[in-house]
Amino acid sequence: MTELHQVYLSIGSNIEPEANIPKAVQMLREYGQVQGISSIWESEAVGSDGPNFLNLCVLFLNPLQPVELKEQVIRQIESKLGRVRHADKNAPRTIDLDIVLFDRQPLNLDFWKYAFVIVPLAELIPDFQHPIRGEKLSRVSEQLQNQVWIVPRSDVAIS
């Protein structure tokens, strides 16, 4: 039997996010198992004056290693949903999928400073230790919600 890896993905959009985020989650199901889905959160765009983003995190199980996962799943979904990569990495986008944790290991510590990653991720794994601060994610999430504007969007549904 093939070993399935636990992958926590951050998914965000600020171009038609109410349509693109549910589509991205549905497309993920074609490549593996979606085991957990956080609430959807709205926050201001980081690094640009673009529209607000909607973000969530999912627990995704599949047999691929990170490089293959990016090439065979993430880039495919982003492409199908019209993602265009710009020189400005903060430009508005239809969809953005990032690997936050792979088998409980952080792949990119830059993600760990953003409320739009931490707050939804804390819903899925509240007791996980933040890799930089050493505190439980639930605690870091509470602190960030008091420091930056981020609100739940219960009106956007994932089926």
Kindly write down the DSSP assignment for every residue of 51-91, as one continuous string: PPEEEEEEEEEES--HHHHIIIIIHHHHHHTT----SSTTS
Give me the CATH code for the 5-152 domain, please.
3.30.70.560
Q: How much is the pLDDT for 89? A: 63
Q: Where are the domains of the chain?
A: 5-152
Q: How much is the pLDDT for 91? A: 61
Q: How much is the pLDDT for 157? A: 81
- Dihedral, CA atoms, 4, 111, 152, 20, nearest 10 degrees? -70
Mean pLDDT by 10 residues, the chain (159 residues): 90 93 96 96 86 96 96 93 66 86 94 96 97 96 96 88
